[in-house]
Amino acid sequence: MAPPGRRERPFSSGRFPGLLLATLVLQLSSFSDACEAPPTFEAMELIGKPKPYYKVGERVDYKCKKGYFYVPPLATHSICDRNHTWLPVSDEGCYREMCPHIRDPLNGEAILANGSYEFGSELHFICNEGYYLIGKDILYCELKDTVAVWSGKPPLCEKILCTPPPKIKNGKHTFSEVEVFEYLDAVTYSCDPAPGPDPFSLIGESMIYCGNNSTWSHAAPECKVVKCRFPVVENGKQISGFGKKFYYKATVMFECDKGYYLNGSDKIVCESNSTWDPPVPKCLKVSTSPNTKSPTSSASGPRPTYKPPVSNYPGYPKPDEGILDSLDDWVIALIVIVIVVAVAVICVALYRFLQGRKKKGTYLTDENHREVKFTSL
C-alpha cells in the first residue's frame, strides 16, 4: 500500500510482482520522508488509532493514561519531521494519581517509603518505643479504576502491657500485688528461706522486665537447693574456694602435689544440677621416661619435677651463689675490723690529750662569765 499522493512507477505489476514490492519497500524506507508509528509512552497514549505511515508535517496528539493527570506546560503532541523522525515529545507532563494523605498514628509515625503519595508507593508505619502496632505495618498506594487508594486501613499503636510474671516455687517476686505491668516495668525474684540446712539458690535472672512483645525479658528464675559434693583431688590440694559446703556457683581451684600434674581444669564451678563443671580434675604422676624429662621447661604441659622456690627461704644456702656470698662476708669482716681498730686508736689519742690538759689546769670562760671546767669528766 503506497502512501497517499505518491505516483506509481511504470512497472507491470503482472510480470514483476516481487520486484514491485521490493522497490516499494525500498522507496518507503530510504527515499521517502514518511514517518512510521509514533513513539509510545508509559504515562500517555495516542488519541485515535495509530496509522502505519504519516506524512511530513502531520501531527499526532496524546493524552494521559488512566491514573495519570496532565499538568501544563509540556506539549502532548508531536509532528512528523523529515528523515523519518518525530519531533521530540515526552510524557513528563502526566502525573500519577495520588493516594490521600494519611496522618501519623497516635504514638507512632507514618513514613513515605518512596517519597510520594503516587500510586505504586508505600507508606510504612512504626510505633514509638513502648507501643506496639495493631494492623498492617505497610500500606500500598494502588490504582483502582482511575483513582489511587491505599491498600488498607492505617494501623494503631497500642501501649505495651504485660500480665504479671510467673509465680515460682520456693520463691517470690516484688510487686506481686500488681495486675498490669507497663513496658520496662521490672520485678525482682528472691528465694524463700529453706526448711533444711541448705539454702535455696536462685538459678537464672533475678530481675526481669516487661519487654517488646508484651513478654517478660527472661524466663522466671528457679529456686532450689544446689549442693555439690566435696571435690576430692588425690595428690593435690585446694588453693582457693575452701569450705565445707559447696552451693550454686561455688568455685574451687586446685594445685597438684610435687611430682604430679593436673589433668583437667584447675578451676571448677558448682552448677545448677549439683555437679561440678568442668568435672573435678585429677593429679597424675609425672612420667619419668626420658622424653618428658625437661626440668628447665616452664612451658605448658606436665611439669616433671617440682623445684621449691629457694629464694623464699632466707636461711637456705643458694647453691650457685655460695662462693660469692663468702667473699662478701670476708669483705664485711675486714671493714668491721678496720673500723674497730680506728675507733680504738682515736680513743687512745683522745685520752692522752685530755690527760695532758688536766695537768695544766686550764679553765675556759663563756660569755656570761660563768666558769666552766671543760675537762671535768
Residues numbered 183-222 forming contacts with ligand NAG, rule: CB under 6 A: 211-213, 215
Using rule CB under 6 A, residue 114 touches ligand NAG:
yes
Using rule CB under 6 A, residue 143 touches ligand NAG:
no
Residue 31: count other Cβ atoms within 10 Å of its Cβ.
8
Instruction: State the nearest-atom distance from the C-beta of 120 to ligand NAG, in Å.
Output: 4
Instruction: State the nearest-atom distance from the C-beta of 130 to ligand NAG, in Å.
Output: 8
Residue 104 main-chain phi, psi, to 5 deg? -55, 140
Residues in the chain: 377
d(CA 204, CA 216): 13
Residues numbered 231-260 forming contacts with ligand NAG, rule: CB under 6 A: none
Stretch that binds ligand NAG, among 65-73, 240-248, 270-278, 347-355 (CB under 6 A): 270-278
Stretch that binds ligand NAG, among 2-10, 117-125, 336-344, 363-371 (CB under 6 A): 117-125
Which of 122, 121, 147 lies closest to 68, judged by CA?
147
Which one, 274 or 375, has the nearer CB to ligand NAG?
274
Which one, 20 or 284, has the nearer CB to ligand NAG?
284
Contact 60, 78 (CB under 8 A): yes
Q: Return contacts of 164-167, CB within 8 angstroms, 24+ apart.
A: 165/208, 165/216, 165/220, 166/216, 166/220
Q: Which three cell numbers stand for residue 198?
A: 541448705
- CA gyration radius, the chain: 54
Using rule CB under 6 A, residue 122 touches ligand NAG:
yes
Using rule CB under 6 A, residue 263 touches ligand NAG:
yes
Contact pick of 5, 25, 73, 83 for ligand NAG (by CB under 6 A) = 83
Residue 189: count other Cβ atoms within 10 Å of its Cβ.
22
Residue 140: count other Cβ atoms within 10 Å of its Cβ.
16
Which one, 122 or 192, has the nearer CB to ligand NAG?
122
Which one, 56 or 284, has the nearer CB to ligand NAG?
284
Which positions ≥6 away from 2 have C-beta within 8 Å?
8, 24
Torsion of CA 319, 324, 330, 334, to 10 degrees: -150
Instruction: State the nearest-atom distance from the C-beta of 133 to ligand NAG, in Å.
Output: 11
Using rule CB under 6 A, residue 271 touches ligand NAG:
yes
Contact 337, 344 (CB under 8 A): no
Which one, 72 or 88, has the nearer CB to ligand NAG?
88
Which one, 58 or 271, has the nearer CB to ligand NAG?
271
Using rule CB under 6 A, residue 113 touches ligand NAG:
yes
Instruction: State the nearest-atom distance from the C-beta of 314 to ligand NAG, in Å.
Output: 37
Interacting residues toward ligand NAG by CB under 6 A: 83, 113-114, 120-122, 129, 211-213, 215, 263, 271, 273, 275, 277, 284
